[in-house]
């Protein structure tokens, strides 16, 4: 038995049958009855079906860029020494892709090897202090800035080490879903992360060269390495190593 739907549509709309008994518009009518979004022109439904394209907010990013530019300009004019400090940590964080630990080799290279602001053991003490206090490892910048230029140095170093990542997040967050599936971007990030593995290994070996090794310290280092492989929280590893060193190592 034929479906009554085509006959009803033919009669009510006054459509003329084709020689095969079908109407060229029947399929479109049936589809439009099942799904009203089909069989309609884009001009007819476009305005009601989708909202206007969303434009990512630019005001927060423009504010950050303007404030940063004015701040660096003021430092360059009135206090060039602090400008060099702030510009250094700004550049370090801008290039440290892959997390806070990726900034360690860059920071060590610039602060200890190039500018010789600190020696290796002092830099390592700053890293340890940053690990036993709240905050990420890049808080070592606060330690360095304070040692060099007091409170203003610490404040400017802290702001500068967090500014680039904040600006990148504000600028790229609206485009996150497009970027996460970009093969080119994923390849770039993968290559950068691989290079930082080598940099971290180099810095670790240099840190190891500055330690007066003996059997107890070797056991502490081996225990810490094993705990990190077992995914123990790094805070507890640092605390346990500190307590063990104070109590057992003379």
Least confident of 34-38, 105-109, 164-168, 194-198: 34-38
pLDDT, averaged across the chain: 75
The whole-model pTM stands at 0.62
Q: Please name the residues in contact with 82: beta carbons below 8 A apart, sequence gap of 6 or more.
A: 75, 149, 152, 153, 156
Residues 57-84: tens digit of each pLDDT: 577 778 888 888 898 999 999 988 999 9
Residue 54 has pLDDT above 80, yes or no: no
d(CA 117, CA 72): 21
Find out whether 231 and 135 touch, Cβ atoms under 8 Å. Answer: no
d(CA 137, CA 228): 16
DSSP assigned state of 95: H
pLDDT of residue 156: 93
Query: What tokens were used for 100?
Result: 């806070």
DSSP assigned state of 110: I
Nearest to 28 by CA among 50, 7, 6: 6
For residue 59, CA distances in Å to 52, 76, 95 come to 20, 26, 24
Least confident of 49-53, 136-140, 182-186: 49-53
For residue 108, CA distances in Å to 44, 113, 123, 203, 221 come to 62, 7, 7, 8, 21
DSSP assigned state of 164: H
Query: What tokens were used for 149?
Result: 């230029």
d(CA 243, CA 250): 12
Residue 45 has pLDDT above 50, yes or no: no
d(CA 238, CA 201): 19
Nearest to 192 by CA among 92, 98, 109: 98
Q: Please give the average per-residue pLDDT across 28-33, as a whole number.
A: 42
Percentage of residues of the chain with pLDDT beyond 70: 73
Chain centroid to CA 128: how far?
A: 24
Query: What tokens were used for 75?
Result: 């430092």
d(CA 112, CA 100): 18
Please give the backbone phi and psi of residue 32, each rounded to the nearest 5 degrees, phi first.
-70, -30
């Amino acid at each position: 038995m034929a479906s009554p739907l085509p006959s009803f549509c033919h009669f009510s709309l006054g459509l003329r049958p084709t020689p095969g008994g079908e109407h060229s518009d029947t399929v479109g009518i049936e589809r439009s009855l099942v799904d009203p979004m089909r069989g309609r022109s884009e001009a007819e439904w476009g305005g009601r079906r989708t909202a206007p394209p969303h434009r990512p907010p630019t005001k927060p990013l423009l504010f950050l860029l303007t404030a940063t530019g004015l701040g660096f300009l003021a430092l360059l004019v009135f206090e060039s020494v602090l400008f060099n400090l702030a510009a250094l940590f700004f550049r370090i964080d801008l290039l440290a892709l892959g997390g806070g630990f990726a900034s360690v080799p860059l920071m060590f290279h610039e602060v200890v090897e190039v500018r010789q602001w600190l020696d290796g053991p002092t830099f390592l003490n700053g890293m340890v202090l940053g690990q036993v206090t709240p905050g990420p490892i890049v808080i070592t910048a606060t330690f360095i800035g304070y040692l060099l230029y007091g409170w203003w140095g610490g404040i400017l170093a802290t702001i500068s080490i967090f500014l680039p990542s904040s600006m990148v997040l504000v600028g790229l967050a609206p485009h996150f879903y497009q970027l996460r599936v970009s093969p080119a971007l994923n390849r770039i990030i993968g290559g950068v992360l691989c290079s930082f593995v080598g940099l971290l290994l180099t810095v670790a070996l240099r840190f190891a060269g500055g330690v007066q090794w003996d059997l107890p310290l070797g056991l502490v280092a081996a225990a810490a390495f094993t705990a990190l492989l077992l995914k123990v929280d790094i805070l507890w590893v640092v605390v346990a190593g500190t307590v063990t060193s104070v109590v057992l190592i003379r």
